[in-house]
Chains A and B, each alone.
Chain A
Amino acid sequence: MEKFTTHTGRAVPLRRSNVDTDQIIPAHWLKKVTRSGFEDGLFEAWRKDESFVLNRPERQGATVLVAGPEFGTGSSREHAVWALQNYGFHAVVSSRFADIFRGNSLKNGLLTVVLPQETVERLWVLTESDPSAEITVDLENREVRAEGITAAFELDDNVRWRLLNGLDDISITLQNEADIAAYEATRPAFKPRTLPVS
C-alpha cells in the first residue's frame, strides 16, 4: 500500500447522498481480474450526461471527492476503491461512509475523511464557486484545510499509523503467527471443515 501523509488537490463536489457502489463502478466492470484499468468505469452511467460534474473541464485533474452522506453503500466490491484511485482520487470527504467501503479504502491508501455535513456543505459551496480552490487533507495532523475552512477529523490511531507508513496488513498479522497456531490448537472438534464428505 502507498503511504498517505498529506495531500493537496482540487475538488469534485458531488451533491448526492447514497452514492452506491453500483454507481461508483457498475457490475459489468467487475469481470476484470486486475486491480487497474477501472478509471473509465467510474460513475459510468452518470458520466454519459455531459453536465455531470466529473465531465466539466474545470474539474479535470481534481483529486479530492466531496460527496453526500452514505457514500459507498451497497456491495463489498473493492473495485469501487480501485476505480476512484485509478481515476486519480486520493481522498474522499463525506459525513458518512458505508462500513465495508470505508474499510476497503483505508486498506488501499484512499483516505476517506468523515466531516460533519455542515462542513461538507461549506466545502461544496467553496469548490462550486471556485473550481480552482484546493483542499488539503492532512493525515499527520488529522485536519482538512481549505480557504476559510479548517476542520479536524477523527481516525483510529492504528489505522492512521498503517496509512502513514504504508504498511501491509498481512505481514503485520503474520508476525503473530504463533498466536494463530495457538488458537487453532484449541478449536473444538465439532467445527466444520470444507473437505468433501463421502
Chain B
Amino acid sequence: MGRTLAEKVWDDHVVRRAEGEPDLLFIDLHLLHEVTSPQAFDGLRLAGRPVRRTDLTIATEDHNTPTLDIDKPIADPVSRVQLETLRRNAAEFGVRIHSLGDVEQGVVHVVGPQLGLTQPGMTVVCGDSHTSTHGAFGALAFGIGTSQVEHVLATQTLPLAPFRTMAITVEGDLPDGVTAKDLILAVIAKIGTGGGQGYVLEYRGSAIRSLSMEARMTVCNMSIEAGARAGMIAPDETTFAYLKGRPHAPQGEDWDAAVEYWRTLGTDEDAVFDHEILIDASELTPFVTWGTNPGQGAPLGSTVPNPEDFADPQERTAAENALAYMGLEAGTPLREVAVDAVFVGSCTNGRIEDLRAAAAILEGRRVADGVRMLVVPGSVRVALQAVEEGLDKVFTAAGAEWRHAGCSMCLGMNPDQLAPGERCASTSNRNFEGRQGKGGRTHLVSPQVAAATAVLGRLAAPADLVSTNVAVEA
C-alpha cells in the first residue's frame, strides 16, 4: 500500500524503532525563542549536557520584543531579563541568534522560511504551537513543550507517539476576496477545535495547489487551532520556486539532488488516509470568528449565532460563555459589530503578501475615526520589503500605526495590548479570552477583512467599501 506525505517524512527520520517504545525521530531543524527555552537551557546546565547540534539550531527574539523605540532599553524589566537570558544561553551554548535590531530578527515562523531553512521533507520543531506553519513546505513540523525543547537540544531527537492521517481536500476556485485565512477558519469551524486531535492534516486539492507559499503557510499555521499534531502540503513547483536562491537553500548539485528527493514526497495515489474531508472552495466566503475559540466562526454575511441552536450541551454552554465575554447578542448581523482596534500581523498573516493585501485596500482611504490600527510586519526583512514598496506610507497616510517586527498584539506579551472591553479585528490566530490583553475581545479575520473593517469601523469585507461608497474621495 502507498504512503502519505506525512508517513514518508516520518519514516525517513526514524532513528530507532523498537517494540513497545515510541519511535525515536531525528529533528532536522530546531527553532528557539525567548519564552519557552530558558528552563530547557537550565536543564542542560544542571545535567552538564551540551547542545548536540548547534548547526541545526537557531534562535530569534519575537514574543517579548517591543515594536516601538527598539533602540532604547526594553522598558519592562521582566521582558528584558527573558531576552537577556536567551542571549546569554545562545552565547554559552554556541547557538546562532537574531536579536532585536538584527536584520534577520522576526517572528520565528516567518524567519525560518524566509532564510530558506525550512525545506520539504524535513522535521522541524519549536517550543511554539504555530510551528505547524512550516508544514506548508511539506515538512513535518510541530510545536513542543519545554521538556521536549531540552530533549532536542540534548539529543537532536524526539520520541514520538504515532499519528493518524487526515486529508482535507479543497477543490475549485476561491471566490474573489476569499483568502487562505477564510479557508482555514472555515475548516476549523467545520471540524472543531478538537477535530484534528491526533492527526497530521494534509491539505490537498486544486484550491490548495493554486495558493502561494505564503498563503499555504497561513493555512498550515492554524492547523493547531483544529487541535492537529501538524498540517502539511505536498511540495511542488510553487515550493521549489519560493526556495530557490534563498540563503540556506541547497545550491548546484545539492539543489538537483534535493529537488529529486522532494518530488518523491507527495502522497502516493494508492495511499489511504484515516479520515477525509472535502470542501468546495467556490462556496467559501469571508469568514470571521464571533466567539472565544477559533472554531466559533461564521461567514461575515451571517449573524451572531443563538446558543440555543447548538444541540451539544458543551457547545451550547461554550457559546453562552463566549457571547457574554464578547458582549454580543444572538442574531446581530456580524457586519454591524463595531471595533475599536485592528491588528495586522503575526505568524499567521504578517508576511509581505498580507501587508500588500491590506495596503491595497487602505490606499486612498482612511482608518475610521476612533479606530486604532496596528500594522506589525512579521520580520525585519518583511518590513524592509514593505518600505521599499512604499506600503508603510500607505498605512501611515491612512492613519494606521506602522511598527517594528514581532509577535506584538497577537498575544500581548509586549506593550501592544487591548484595554478591557476593547474589540479588535485581528489577523492573528487565537481569539481566546484575554489573549490580546486582559478583557480584550478578538475577532479573527483575513488581512483584507481587517483593512476593510478599519475603514468602516465595523466588521466588513473589501466589497462593502464599494457598495457603501465610503472611500476614494481623496
Binary interface encoding of chain B residues 24-56 relative to chain A, with 1 for a CB under 8 A from any of its CBs, else 0 = 101011000001101100110001010010111
Which residue of chain A is the closest to B85 with respect to CB atoms?
A33
Which of A96, A176, A180 sits near B197, CB closer than 8 Å?
A96
> Which of B16, B144, B151, B432 interacts with A176 by CB under 8 Å?
B16
Sampled A-B contacts (17; CB under 8 Å): A16-B321, A17-B317, A18-B295, A20-B432, A22-B430, A45-B434, A68-B314, A70-B193, A81-B145, A104-B146, A157-B20, A170-B43, A176-B16, A188-B258, A190-B257, A190-B258, A196-B96
A52 CB, min distance to chain B CBs, angstroms: 13
Number of residues of chain B lying within 8 A (CB) of chain A? 88
When distances are taken between beta carbons in the complex, the residues of chain A under 8 Å from B249 are: 192
Contact A170 B250 (CB under 8 A): no
Q: Write out the residue numbers on chain B whose beta carbons fall within 8 Å of the beta carbon of A177.
A: 155
Near B by CB (< 8 A), chain A positions 159-188 give 169-170, 172-174, 176-177, 179-180, 183-184, 187-188
B105 CB to closest chain A CB (Å) equals 14
B438, A78: Cβ atoms under 8 Å? no
Contact with A along B417-445 (1 / 0, CB 8 A): 00000000000001011110010000000
Which 10 pairs show the lowest CB-CB distances between chains A and B?
Answer: A104-B145, A33-B38, A78-B145, A76-B143, A190-B258, A190-B254, A78-B146, A190-B250, A107-B147, A194-B58
- Chain B residues with Cβ under 8 A from A96's Cβ? 194, 197
Q: Check A194/B57 contact, CB under 8 A, given A17-B317, A78-B147.
A: yes
Q: Are A17 and B318 in contact (CB under 8 A)?
A: yes
Interface size class of A (residues with CB under 8 A): 35 or more
Residues 66-81 of A, flagged 1 when their CB comes within 8 A of B and 0 if not, give 0011100111111101
Q: Is A28 an interface residue (CB 8 A)?
A: yes
Point out the residues of chain B lying under 8 angstroms from A173, CB to CB: 24, 151, 154-155, 157, 159
Q: In the complex, what residues of B have CB within 8 A of residue A68's CB? A: 314
Nearest-CB distance from A37 to chain B (Å)? 12
> Which chain A residues lie closer than 8 Å to B229 at the CB level?
99
Number of A-B contacts (CB under 8 A): 211
A170 interface neighbour in B29, B79, B145, B154, Cβ under 8 Å: B154
Bound Cα distance A20, B361 (Å): 34
Q: Pick the contact of A33 from B39, B155, B432, B433 — CB < 8 Å?
A: B39
B250: A residues at CB distance < 8 A: 190, 192
Interface: A56 (CB within 8 A): no
Q: Is the CB of A78 within 8 A of B55?
A: no
Indicate if A27 sits at the interface (CB-CB under 8 A): yes
Which among B115-123, B170-178, B204-212, B392-400 touches the partner chain? Answer: B115-123
Complex: chain B residue closest to A198, CB-CB: B247
